[in-house]
Amino acid sequence: MYQYTETDQTLVDERVAQFKRQTEQYLKGELTEDQFRALRLRNGLYVQTHAPLLRVAGPYGLLNSKQVRKLAHIARHYDKNYCHFTTRQNIQFNWPKLEAVPDILAELASVQMHAIQTSGNCMRNTTTDHLAGVCVDEIEDPRPYCEIIRQWTTLHPEFDYLPRKFKIAVSGALHDRAATQFHDIGLHLVKNDAGEIGFRVLVGGGLGRTPIIGQVIKPFLEKKHLLSYLEAILRIYNLFGRRDNKYKARIKILVKELGLGHFSDRVEKEWLLLRDANELSAERIEEMKLEFTPPAYDLNAANDTSFEAHKAANKAFSTWVDHNTAVHKVPGYKAVFLSLKAPDSPPGDMTDTQLDAAADLADQYSFGEVRVTHRQNLILADIKQADLFALWQQLDALKLATPNIGTATDMICCPGLDFCSLANAGSIGIAKEINEALDDMDYIHDIGDIKINMSGCMNGCAHQSVGHIGILGVDKKGAEWYQITLGGSSENAAAIGERLGPSVAKDQITKAITDILDVYIKNRLEGESFLDMVNRVGITPFKEQVYAIS
């Protein structure tokens, strides 16, 4: 895992000092609301329905145990004993006091963390595959490139006042777990015919109000050109992106309005002027790779026999292994998901006690590292199979072992009307209601792989348009209604969900979801997943059931 150099530490310390001054100036009336708004957003600070919301960067989802303990400390001392993990691998605190935020940022800086550019119209936290470095289908570990991009995007003097927010995701595996097709720039490590590894570059993807699948602008970009190519895209966007209407200001609209061909021509022309003077040296890449070398794995880990014995003897453990662990590239190891989707807890939330305990477990079993997934769960990436049973027992006691990863109750959910000033409708309450309706774990496992994503407004923070089932809260004359889409996906075969029909009332949404799941159970072919069935039969059978007149 990357460790801060003196430069990194100085930068975050100076940023804390800068924001402390800005907050003081604002409180003294020396900065206007608009001015302070732009500055605080660039430090992760929103002003929300009840209190400010502070979004802390989880750099490409990677945290060490010391950082996790710091999050617990902040939750305990500055918030209401919990925090929330987001779809962009970040961490949110819902109840900090504005005056205390500079102190919180100083606490974060003490463990090599920050909240820089986690909101505002600037380049945001770079995200990646939560199984980077441990998955079996990896072409190359994307994290060294993520860190190089993190540094390049941080306090970039030219691109901090963009037309709109800008998000970059990197994937290094065959299977795209980083939703690179739905980012302003998606980078996918690929091998060309000559066997060299470079980047396939996608541009203009995005979710939100106008979901668009990104298009390939460069099928193969040599690694040494990574930063010059990003710079060229950003400069063209900064100069030509629309600034007259914030709903049309994302790069996806520029790409759409110009057409990929024209957009690409402009980028290419700009890039050719920059390219040769801005190469990323092979030495820099190699140095960065050294920051992400594999930990000291036990080469005899696979010789353990207790794991199979526990599985055979304990059904609950075996079920948990089936659902909440992922295959690891090293024999005898597994990546373990900590489910933050326990039935009685808001999706993605974690208490200070759980955070501290997870940090201890990371130290004890997983080389002191924790990862955040973009489906709002955590991962301990390097668990020996011999340790799985003991780990499971402890996670179970912490309510972090609900065996529902990838299932109907592993919902992505935004804070919704409960916390967010943009929301039109509640989402946490609906998630709870759906959870209660799906209280039979065998039924949930029978449904199998399904992604339900629910956002409380069309800004789409919970990526509803790429949910296999998407739920979108809308306001109808002051009442909360919900629009349903089916068939979305952010993986390799990316798709935007199709609208099922008119929105349904709040007291009908849970029944609509259970109806949809029933239609699937009754009509699926042997071994057919929910998404595959929707793709085979279309939305009609679901529509007929949901809108049937009873």
Partner 1 sequence: MQLVKNKEIINDTWRYVDEESELGEGDITVSLARWKGDRQDLFNHKGKVGLRLIPSDGVDGIVDDLEHIQLVELDFTDFSDGRLFSHAWLLRSRYGYLNEIRAIGHYIPDQVFYLSRVGVNAFLPAKSSDLPFVLANLNDFTVKYQNSVN
Q: Which residues bind partner 1 (CB under 8 A)?
A: 7, 10-11, 14-15, 18, 22, 31, 35, 38-39, 121, 151-152, 154-163, 235, 238-239, 243, 273, 278
Kind and range of the H or E run holding 287:
helix 282-290
Two tokens, residue 25: 């100036």
Closer Cβ to partner 1, 37 or 329, answer by number: 37
Two tokens, residue 467: 């949910």
As measured in angstroms, the least distance from the Cβ of 241 to partner 1 is 9
As measured in angstroms, the least distance from the Cβ of 162 to partner 1 is 6
CA 435, CA 340: separation in Å to the nearest integer? 13
As measured in angstroms, the least distance from the Cβ of 8 to partner 1 is 8
Closer Cβ to partner 1, 164 or 468, answer by number: 164
Closer Cβ to partner 1, 17 or 197, answer by number: 17
CA angle 442, 372, 149 (to 5 degrees): 145
Closer Cβ to partner 1, 246 or 476, answer by number: 246
Closer Cβ to partner 1, 11 or 428, answer by number: 11
Phi, psi of 532 (to 5 degrees): -60, -40
As measured in angstroms, the least distance from the Cβ of 190 to partner 1 is 26
As measured in angstroms, the least distance from the Cβ of 43 to partner 1 is 11
Closer Cβ to partner 1, 17 or 390, answer by number: 17
As measured in angstroms, the least distance from the Cβ of 101 to partner 1 is 16
Residues with Cβ within 8 Å of residue 532, at least 6 apart in sequence:
none
Q: CA 148, 152, 155, 161 torsion: positive or negative?
A: negative
β-strands 62-64, 333-338: how paired?
A: unpaired
CA 261, CA 269: separation in Å to the nearest integer? 12
Closer Cβ to partner 1, 82 or 229, answer by number: 229
Kind and range of the H or E run holding 127:
strand 127-128
CA angle 240, 180, 235 (to 5 degrees): 20
SS3 state at 197: strand
Contact 355, 71 (CB under 8 A): yes
As measured in angstroms, the least distance from the Cβ of 273 to partner 1 is 7
Closer Cβ to partner 1, 156 or 289, answer by number: 156
Closer Cβ to partner 1, 5 or 492, answer by number: 5
Neighbours of 550 (CB within 10 A): 3
Residue 136 CA: distances (Å) to CA of 274, 335, 365, 369: 36, 11, 21, 19
As measured in angstroms, the least distance from the Cβ of 542 to partner 1 is 44
Say which amino acid occupies 544: E
CA 260, CA 500: separation in Å to the nearest integer? 30
Provide the angle, in degrees to the nearest 10, between the axes of the packed helices 260-274 and 251-258. Answer: 110
Say which amino acid occupies 532: D
As measured in angstroms, the least distance from the Cβ of 22 to partner 1 is 6
